[in-house]
Structure formats: structure tokens, C-alpha cells
């Protein structure tokens, strides 16, 4: 196992690294395949890993059929982050949660403060104040984080052109998408797609 890459649930990653100093624990991954060693993060990540095994042995059609039987989306890429922007924002009230849900379901729209405030049944001024108090982010910053997460997933899991991904997730164009990725992740969208492609190649 020395020198192998591995992952586990983020809550136990440091303990795993402490117990097994000869391996490289990558705590923010859904699952990792390093040669014959497969490791995953949590319970649902284990299902993603299992689907990856099915796809490797029996092909994509069979993996999709199994996912359908389990009422799952097609498996997530192994290098996908364990963290979710919705969980990180963690609003305390249903009203703000409803606004976030509305935003995530309508990312292709402009999503003004007025529109989000209406979804939360608050005045725009009250909404902005309560939203920032509960999430620690301004509405605009939170929406950009949701857009970035959605765009990253589309880049990792599809072959859609960047112009299409930008439009679907609410960015003006591919240049706007690239600028947001550089601010949020420090790398361009092209690098995310390349890394996802390399992860698939390592799996197979």
C-alpha cells in the first residue's frame, strides 16, 4: 500500500493519514482508483464507486441500467468534491432554504435579489439582510458559487461545449465562465475537463 492514493470520509481523513503515513490520503474526493485499490468516501460515494466497477467490468450501458434500478443518477466522477455548496451555505430558516432551492433550479435565469426575495416571501431589503446573516454570503456571491458547482459538474460529467454549459448555468458566455472559474477554483474550465478525462482513463 505504500505510496498509494486513497480517500475516505472527510471527517476521518486526518486520522487515516495518521494511521497510514505511507499512503497519500486525498480527503476531498468521492472515490479514488489507484491500480487494484479502490477507496471511497461515504455511503453514497460507495455506490458511485460500485457503479464505476460495474462500468469497468460490464460497460456503460450495464452501469446505467444498474443506476436506473437503484434510482440513481449516472455515477459521479471520482475526483468530484465531497462538499456541496448547498450544505456549506446551510441556512437556518426554510425561507432562505427555499430561495436557495429556487436558485439552484433556475440557474439559467438572471436571478435578481428581487426574484429570490419573492421566492422567500420577503422584501428585497429584508431578504438580503437575513440571507447574509444566515449564510455568511451575499445573495450574489452564493448564487455564483451555485453556478460554479453546477458548471463544474457539467464539465466533469458531460461533453457539452463550454458555451452551452455557460448558458445552462447562468454565465453570459464562455469567457465569463472562465473568469468565474479562475476566481473560484484558480484553474480554467479546460483544466477541470482534462483532469476529469484523466481520472476516467486511470479508472480503466
Tell if the pTM clears 0.75, that is, is over it.
no
Report the Cα 164 to chain-centroid distance in Å: 18
Q: What are the distances in angstroms from CA 163 to CA 127, 172, 176?
A: 32, 9, 10
Q: Is residue 23's pLDDT more than 70?
A: yes
Residues 139 and 77: their CA atoms lie apart, in Å, by 29
Check if the beta carbon of residue 63 is closer than 8 Å to that of residue 54.
Answer: yes
Final residue in a domain of this structure, among 42, 69, 96:
69
Selection from 47, 80, 74, 45 nearest residue 62 by Cα:
74
Which residues span the domain enclosing 194? Answer: 84-204
Q: Based on the fold, state whether residues 63 and 92 are members of the same structural domain.
A: no
Q: Would the pLDDT of 203 be above 50?
A: no
Note the pLDDT tens digit of each residue in 115-158. 999 999 999 999 999 999 999 999 999 999 999 989 988 888 78
Domain boundary among 69, 98, 115: 69
Out of 22, 43, 69, pick the residue that ends a domain: 69
98 and 177 belong to one structural domain? yes
Q: From CA 123, how far away is CA 166, in angstroms rounded?
A: 30
User: Bigger pLDDT: 62 or 204?
Assistant: 62
77 is a domain residue: no
**Residue 74 domain-assigned?**
no
Task: Give me the count of residues in the chain.
Answer: 204
Same domain flag for 131 and 186: yes
pLDDT in tens, 52-105: 899 889 988 888 888 778 766 555 655 555 556 665 677 889 999 899 989 989
- Give the position of cell 457503479: 51
Tell me the CA distances in angstroms from 106 to 63, 102, 160, 173, 179, one per residue in order: 29, 6, 19, 17, 21
Asked if 202 contacts 52 with a C-beta cutoff of 8 angstroms, the reply is no
Q: Chain-wide mean pLDDT for the chain?
A: 85
Q: What is the pLDDT of residue 83?
A: 54
- On whether both 18 and 90 belong to a single domain, the answer is no
| 98-102, 166-170, 183-187, 194-198: the lowest-pLDDT one | 194-198
Q: Which residue has the higher pLDDT, 199 or 47?
A: 47
Question: Does 60 share its domain with 106?
Answer: no
Cα–Cα distance, 180 to 200 (Å, whole number): 25
The answer to whether residue 129 sits within a structural domain is: yes
The closest alpha carbon to 114, from 148, 92, 139, 94, belongs to: 139
Residue 79 lies in a domain: no
What is the number of structural domains in the chain? 2
| Predicted confidence band of residue 2 (pLDDT cuts 50, 70, 90) | confident
Amino acid at each position: 500500500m505504500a505510496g498509494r492514493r486513497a480517500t475516505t470520509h472527510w471527517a476521518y481523513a486526518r486520522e487515516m493519514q495518521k494511521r497510514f503515513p505511507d499512503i497519500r490520503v486525498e480527503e476531498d474526493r468521492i472515490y479514488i482508483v489507484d491500480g487494484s485499490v479502490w477507496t471511497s468516501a461515504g455511503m453514497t460515494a460507495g455506490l458511485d464507486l460500485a457503479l464505476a466497477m460495474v462500468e469497468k467490468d460490464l460497460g456503460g450501458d450495464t452501469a446505467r441500467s444498474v443506476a436506473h434500478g437503484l434510482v440513481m443518477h449516472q455515477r459521479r466522477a471520482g475526483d468530484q468534491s465531497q462538499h456541496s455548496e448547498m450544505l456549506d451555505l446551510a441556512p437556518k430558516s426554510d425561507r432562505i432554504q427555499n430561495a436557495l432551492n429556487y436558485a439552484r433550479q433556475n440557474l439559467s435565469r438572471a436571478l435578481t435579489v428581487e426574484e429570490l426575495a419573492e421566492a422567500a416571501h420577503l422584501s428585497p431589503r429584508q431578504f438580503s439582510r437575513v440571507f447574509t446573516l444566515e449564510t455568511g454570503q451575499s445573495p450574489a456571491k452564493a448564487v455564483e458559487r451555485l453556478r460554479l458547482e453546477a458548471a463544474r459538474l457539467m464539465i466533469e460529467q458531460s461533453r457539452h461545449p463550454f458555451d452551452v454549459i455557460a448558458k445552462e448555468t447562468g454565465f453570459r458566455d464562455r469567457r465569463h465562465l472562465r473568469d468565474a472559474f479562475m476566481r473560484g477554483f484558480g484553474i480554467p474550465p479546460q483544466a477541470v475537463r482534462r483532469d476529469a478525462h484523466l481520472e476516467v482513463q486511470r479508472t480503466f
